[in-house]
Amino acid sequence: MNEREFATIRVANVSVAFGGIAALTDVNMELRQREVFGLIGPNGAGKTTMVNVLSGFQRPTQGSVTLDGVEVGARGPHYAARIGVGRTFQAGRLFRDLTVGENLTIAAMGAGLGMGAARRRAGAILEWTGCSEMAERRCDSLSYGNERRIGIGRALALAPKFVLLDEPASGMNDAESDALMHMIASIPGEFGCGVLLIEHNMEVITGACSRIHVLDGGKSIAEGSPAEIMHNPDVRRAYLGDKAKAGATPVKAA
């Protein structure tokens, strides 16, 4: 596949208002297949609202979101998933009374695979996550970190063109967050899909993302490489503060 054949999600002049209160105002961005794109901002900046718009759970008040020219939210989240947009949630939402392997197999079958092919896809994803030994374990027995990893795996089992990850490192310790960062950075190369990553852990963001978009109060204030964002004075004032280390050298995803 050459560069011209990569899928693209375009967010054009998107605004969302709830009862007259603006959650997003005239936001523009472009997500490219085979890259990890970060979305950051303080609490209440509109990040989760944007994920809901991108995945068809929330229709914009104005503007459009298209995947290769097809309106993403035209028929709701099931249609968005069918045309190639997968997501995770801040809460894991696994089928807790089923096994890890069953959760992934069901997701793969939802992508149109037969039982045998779905089980093979589930096994390959479990190997990639490092959770092969958990295939027969019920999801209600998983640790918090493993539940997050399996949630990402289940989204990938749908074979999306883009996967949207909403704060996957929330509640993880440093070692778990570092492992997750490397896992997320490898998704485009392993699965051929683009990633939108929302995360407050700046080490995860700068270590996994090639580009970062910053929201504040529902408005875009900056977009650029990790190095550009970490040194942007508007971003530092709005969000990063003491977390921005002038001497830090972000590591880009492959």
Per-residue pLDDT at 117 exceeds 60: yes
3-state DSSP assignment of residue 9 = strand
Residue-wise pLDDT for 137-186, tens only, equals: 998 888 888 888 888 999 999 999 999 999 998 888 899 899 999 999 99
3-state DSSP assignment of residue 252 = coil
Q: Is 149 exposed, middle or buried (0-12, 13-18, 19+ CB in 10 A)?
A: buried
DSSP 238: I
Please list the residues that pair with 136 across neighbouring strands: none
pLDDT band at 247 (very low <50, low <70, confident <90, very high): very low
DSSP 112: T
Least confident range from 43-47, 130-134, 237-241: namely 237-241
Could you list the beta-strand ranges (E) of 182-247: 194-198, 211-216, 219-224
Residue ranges of domains in the chain: 3-94+159-243, 95-141
Sheet holding 194-198, edge to edge: 85-87, 162-166, 194-198, 36-40, 211-216, 219-224
Distance CA 126, CA 100 (A): 9
Which ranges in 46-193 belong to alpha helices (H)?
47-54, 77-83, 100-110, 115-129, 144-157, 174-191
Question: Per-residue pLDDT averaged across 13-27, rounded?
Answer: 94
Q: Are 9 and 67 in contact (CB under 8 A)?
A: yes
> Which residue type sits at 50?
M
Distance CA 188, CA 169 (A): 18
pLDDT band at 3 (very low <50, low <70, confident <90, very high): very low
For the segment(s) 3-94+159-243, the CATH number from 3.40.50.300, 3.20.20.140, 3.30.1180.20, 3.30.420.40 is 3.40.50.300
pLDDT for position 91 = 59
Question: Per-residue pLDDT averaged across 189-196, rounded?
Answer: 95
pLDDT for position 6 = 86
pLDDT for position 162 = 97
DSSP 138: B
pLDDT band at 126 (very low <50, low <70, confident <90, very high): very high
